[in-house]
Structure 1
Amino acid sequence: MYRKELYVFEGDKPRKAVIRNYSRSDFFELIQIQAQSFPPPFPSELWWNQEQLTNHVTLFPEGAICVEVDGVLAGSMTGLLVSFDPAHPEHKWEDVTDNGYIQNHDPNGDTLYIVDICIRPSHRKLGLGQLMMQAMYELVVQKGLKRLLGGGRMPGYGRYADSWTPQKYLEQVIAGAVKDPVITFLMRCGRTPVQVVADYLEDEESRNYATLMEWINPFHGHE
């Protein structure tokens, strides 16, 4: 199981942090963090429930991580293993993650797929998302996987949907002309865009579009 102790900084003030695997005793707080992190218009039925979290810690506990700051649970990230074919990248979140229940977790998969990441609003700007992403990269390396992959919402796209295609919006984000709350964050974490996918997730702000974002294991053999 995974546990890393380190410091994060609020301005110049160091604060003790721990990144670890989450367990059943964390479930209540994890659901509360989801509700705070994804307020309406994000669908509340997409917040974690007890059955989903139970599957996470049972089927693939290595992919269920959280972060504490000064003893307060502040965020979580969840993944599962899948076999990904780059020649056929189109998919929906509900299909690849089994609607968050991850019963399709493939122990022999070559890709760590990120199901979800969320940070309590009161603990943002501490770099917690990047730290958890780094923990997931370490898991990719440890297991000898090809990549980390996941779909990034495009919540900023809604403001430009009448003028730009989703691909055009992504190009503007990559060029730095527009900052997207999710895509730009994932790029800062070291992930690179693969392509835009339609009908990825019910999300009004993104017009149901997402961008597949990957991190290739630099230690894995590449053809």
Structure 2
Amino acid sequence: MAAAATSVAILPSARRSCDAGKSRSIVFSSRSSKSVSFPSQPRRRNGNLRIACSVSLTDREVRTGGPDDLVDSILSKVSETDRGVSLKKEEHAAVGEVAGELQKYCVPEPVKCPLIFGEWDVVYCSNPTSPGGGYRSSVGRLFFKTKEMVQAVEAPDTVRNKVKFSLFGFLDGEVSLKGKLIALDGSWIQVIFEPPQLKVGALDFQYGGESEVKLQITYVDEKIRLGKGSRGSLFVFQRIG
């Protein structure tokens, strides 16, 4: 996994809902730092940035509890697939079709919804190397068996990614990243990660440099969250806390 391209797309434990008629505020803040150029997305990191997102939800907007059949369908399609690695092309297409249907039920401006916070299991990605980078490549999987891939999004603006693995089947290790979340608009977020931390046996060290990812939240409810990367990769996250 190349450090500069690490993009494990990670969230507090109690389940939440976007309660109708209540107002919530989510504040994202960041300080200027080094960046990787993404010409297709506008930069919003010059100087200090403070975005105060105040959301008032109506009954009409709370639509995430309705499409339970679609949620169950997409989870069944990605279950026991090594996070999508074992799926065939047509099966990936079927997952994408259900994700497209679920997107129609997404709350307006999901970045402002408190449901994005929590701890999530990364259960699927249409591109196996997007979450975990080289550790999840076809060669990397020969040496690193993924045991856990978790993303935690903590209020107000912290993202923690963690991949636990077994090296050669007997030596446990993990790679973790801590990032700063920045709201770009109502559905897009940017996360700027510190250099990754690697633990293998008695070794514990930081390597590489900063990295960043951009992700569009296309659906979120009490069970799952869907995201689409800036290069089109589809992610399915299942809530575990």
Structure number with greater Rg is 2
Structure with higher RCO (Cα < 8 A, 6+ apart): 2
**Same fold by TM-score, threshold 0.5 exceeded?**
no
Give 1 or 2: higher helix fraction: 1
TM-score relative to the length of structure 2: 0.25
TM-score relative to the length of structure 1: 0.27
